[in-house]
Structure 1
């Protein structure tokens, strides 16, 4: 129960209330809340009733002044124990760079829906992946609700604004193509063979012919390749943190997979293995004993950014259609569909946990396949 009393100020007589809020879990002692500044006893009684209801709903007094950053630290301490080091690093970067500077110092129970929408609108002006930031910021609000720190989630109904370029149709009516067609692949591989080192040519060949992620390819060891069975196993991925490299488990169980290799790829791998053996015999102290397929000259793993940098150099020099490293994975899938592979086959080869991911690539299949659709119809109907 609350107790009410009048008190005198320079502005005149005001009302206050005091209320026992129970045991403080940190000190083990009873605690009292005091609220002042009410013009009438009726106002004080209404405020006390609302305050008492908040306490009954779990909004304890020691949670009332928690900032967003304080709640974030509580949430992340638990959440970080359930995720991979690379994911942890990515999440920390998102919060430190954009989320905490905007939310961190604010009391979490005072953050409004309008403010959340304003933040998301601002981020959308400079960040294409603004939805990722909304998802991460929302995790803290969800945790706050779960811990009874807030009653409602102000981020729940926030919408992602469309970027101007998404609202205005491009001249050709389509979106930027992040994959190569067959003729473009052939040209690139010819350039890679003639201008790049044996290692780099093989690296890009594997990315294109297996559709693997760059972290999976850079983490390959020779025992992942079964030359007799003609298969390659992807079961780990390369990760760098604070200048050190680690090999970690892939995101999902389906990412661990063994896929078949064609004879050309096997031949290139055998030639590269022979080259490494000869180099080791000539200088046995040069390389670390890590059994890696791809290394720097000192035997350490290649930087994760290395394939990106090398690809951009070749694209710029030869004025090729610009794609990303991930675009090579998209290219592999598109060409598989062109060759007649089923959606299930492509899903298993790429290690997608959700078939919807494969379907998304299928809907962006190359123009050549779209042209073939009409040809197939014509051929069938004229039989």
Structure 2
């Protein structure tokens, strides 16, 4: 049986429970555990019931001998029920590739701050997203701390080494820009209009003219486009998992948005809808009823990697400045700023949850804006 108790912290009143966990096979002595940090008594009671079940099933034998991987499995068994399939796949990949190979077989109580810092330094030398890895690895340590498996979190004060890319000169950064200028966009669309399918040209046009994420456009149905109101609703995204296409809601509330379309884009989409209907009618023994805007010839959604592959092919063939699919989204934001849009307008159009994301694009805006700023200053002085 568990006993429950309220206690005071700097954050306010919290609950803990104490429970007899049986006899330690190594010492022959009875053991107990105290688990704290629960906001309500009801939450503590639920955790106590779960612990009793784990004890009955033989899942908890001796907290002191738990490896990091064993604690990870306990944490993830609950956490995975609260997240989307796409997020699960991302988290599982990070643990499998970067975290478990370094921490998995170690007893979690023996992992030190020094070791954690060393591992994060190694990871930072190989990938740019070391902070994401640290955040995920830290979730397991925080869970272990809450469950009284460890008494201190060794990951808590680990710092992320400054990336070499942060120290690059302006000239190097300019050479590695992940966006196109207005002239480069015009050149690219002229090429795609002549050399690739109307479907693919329409897809790239929409990526550039809306700033939408590729998953958002690949999940589009014709019902999402209002030709009368000249708007497009972006409220879902396409995800591919183990051979299955999944349509799911966006990661954040801000990602759900209704944005305006220009006349040229509307005319292009109307023409694509006509061509798509004609192509579907010409296909024998295939019924396309998903109403999706961009599909393969058999009516199935396009692969998420397809736009990337097509973009790279055109860039290499015509020796264009290399950018990624996400770079087209960056390009849309940069050109909006160039056209005079406010930071708030760009944030809402791109669906950024945090305005800092928009500000980061603004600070990397094209050279054209900087030149225009200098010209405006000169003209003002000459008045």
State whether TM-score is above 0.5: yes
Is this contact kept in 2: 1:22–1:31, CA < 8 A?
A: no
Q: Displacement, 1:176?
A: 2.1
2:124 is aligned to 124
Aligned partners of 1:336 and 1:22: how far apart in 2? Answer: 60
Aligned partners of 2:306 and 2:173: how far apart in 1? Answer: 34
Structure 1, unmatched stretches of 5+, are: 1-20, 36-47
2:114 is aligned to 114
Aligned partners of 1:186 and 1:201: how far apart in 2? Answer: 12
Structure 2, unmatched stretches of 5+, are: 1-17, 37-59
2:242 is aligned to 242
Q: Displacement, 1:287?
A: 4.2
1:343 is aligned to 343
Structure 1 residue 64 and structure 2 residue 64: aligned? Answer: yes
2:281 is aligned to 281
2:322 is aligned to 322
Residue 23 of structure 1 aligns to a residue in which SS?
Answer: strand
Is this contact kept in 2: 1:256–1:351, CA < 8 A?
A: yes
Structure 1 residue 34 and structure 2 residue 27: aligned? Answer: yes
Q: Displacement, 1:160?
A: 1.8
Q: How does 1:127-276 map to 2 (within 5 A)?
A: 127-167=127-167, 169=169, 171-172=171-172, 174=174, 176-276=176-276
Q: Displacement, 1:251?
A: 0.7
Query: 1:250-290, CA deviations, whole angstroms, 9 ceiling, x for partnerless residues?
Result: 01111111111001100010001101121233336334311
1:12 is aligned to none
Is this contact kept in 2: 1:68–1:103, CA < 8 A?
A: yes
Aligned partners of 1:281 and 1:165: how far apart in 2? Answer: 52
Is this contact kept in 2: 1:233–1:257, CA < 8 A?
A: yes
RMSD: 2.3
Name which of structure 1's ranges 192-201 and 122-131 shifts more when overlaid on structure 2.
Answer: 122-131
Q: Displacement, 1:230?
A: 0.7
Is this contact kept in 2: 1:33–1:61, CA < 8 A?
A: no
Q: Displacement, 1:330?
A: 0.4
Is this contact kept in 2: 1:117–1:159, CA < 8 A?
A: yes
Structure 1 residue 23 and structure 2 residue 20: aligned? Answer: yes
Query: 1:174-196, CA deviations, whole angstroms, 9 ceiling, x for partnerless residues?
Result: 57211000000000000010101
Aligned partners of 2:34 and 2:252: how far apart in 1? Answer: 41
- CA gap of 1:62–1:361, structure 2 versus 1, over 3 A, is same
Residue 206 of structure 1 aligns to a residue in which SS?
Answer: helix
- CA gap of 1:287–1:192, structure 2 versus 1, over 3 A, is farther
Q: How does 1:285-324 map to 2 (within 5 A)?
A: 285-324=285-324
Aligned partners of 1:368 and 1:195: how far apart in 2? Answer: 29
Aligned partners of 1:328 and 1:287: how far apart in 2? Answer: 33
Residue 273 of structure 1 aligns to a residue in which SS?
Answer: helix
TM-score scaled by length of structure 1:
0.84
Name which of structure 1's ranges 372-381 and 216-225 shifts more when overlaid on structure 2.
Answer: 372-381
State the aligned residue count.
342
Is this contact kept in 2: 1:235–1:257, CA < 8 A?
A: yes
Name which of structure 1's ranges 116-125 and 133-142 shifts more when overlaid on structure 2.
Answer: 116-125
Query: 1:67-112, CA deviations, whole angstroms, 9 ceiling, x for partnerless residues?
Result: 1111111111121122111011010011011211111111111100
> Which is greater in Rg?
1
2:8 is aligned to none
